[in-house]
Homo-oligomer: A and B are copies of this chain.
Amino acid sequence: MSEIIVIKVGGGEGVDVEAVCADVAALVQQGYQVVLAHGTSAAANALSERVGVPARTLQSPSGHVSRYTDPETLQVYMMAAVGQVNPDIVRRLQALGVNAVGLNGLDGHLLGAKRKDAVRAIDPTTGRQRVVRDDFTGRVETVNAELLRLLLDAGYTPVVAPLAMGMECEPLNVDGDRAAAQVAGALQADTLVILTNVPGLLAKFPDESSLIRHIPQSGLDRAIELAGGRMKKKVLAAQEGLEMGVKQVVLGSSRLSSPVQAALRGEGTVISHD
């Protein structure tokens, strides 16, 4: 059986998607089965501005910040994730000889999620807590691994957009790192590579010489405390993946010239079972 690698590439500014696609092409050429999951933040923010639906955030009482996805923002988010970023990656991979197939969580019920139907958030003007009821954000809970295996075994390379399907078949904005972890877990992937804009988990952020090269599963709780901002979610996603049976997770830098191949060589933070 082929080794399965799930890669998460972020949707932020300055990510070199072409370098990631070149790595995917090399891996597919070598016989690996690859699933590429992507983010969409920069494209969604740019489109929000263009159509006059300003991107807004929600801050939870614990300090966690997320995109406020009201119904109008959800439409913009879908256009960016499904209608821009996803086909752009598929096109690049096709040009490199990879038979990519773009999917989102609605397709074949690929990503099933539970909507957070009442979100407590801090009102930025008053500083008071309020309950937001029109936020279409969810957490991925199920993955249709059979659909991914069907495509992988037939020689296709799935490219997965961060859009899930809720209990009422509604589209939901989901965190791309957690979605990639769920996909990797459902496929019992050999490796999950999560690319970030730093070299990996840093003991003393932003000091890059403090890179933590290896974390055993038993050290993850401490690592989660150590991690700040977006990195906390990535370490949580790594933990989720390992608990579901992924053999190893690498938090790698998207700034290297062959970012995925570098991560697979162990450049970054390697997280594995004890």
Contact = CB atoms under 8 A, between A and B. Distances in A.
A215 B98 CA distance: 43
Interface stretch (A30-38, A103-111, A183-191, A226-234): A103-111
Contact of A87 (B50, B151, B163): B163
| Chain A interface main SS type | helix
Contact of A106 (B91, B165, B168): B91
A101 B163 contact: no
A109 B82 contact: no
A108 B99 contact: yes
Contacts of A81: 83
Interface stretch (A4-12, A72-80, A133-141, A239-247): A72-80
A142 interface: no
A84 B150 CA distance: 26
Contacts of A109: 94, 99
A102 B108 CA distance: 8
A100 interface: yes
B79 A94 contact: no
A147 interface: yes
A102 B104 CA distance: 8
Contacts of A106: 87, 90-91, 94, 100, 102
Contact of A94 (B99, B163, B165): B165
Interface string A82-96: 111011001100110
A65 interface: no
Question: Which of A51, A94, A106, A151 has its CB near the most chain B CB atoms (within 10 A)?
Answer: A106
A203 interface: no
A1 interface: no
A184 to B, nearest CB: 21
Interface string A156-192: 1000000101001111000000000000000000000
A91 B51 contact: no
A33 to B, nearest CB: 15
Interface of A: 47, 50-51, 75, 78-84, 86-87, 90-91, 94-95, 99-104, 106-109, 146-147, 150-151, 154, 156, 163, 165, 168-171
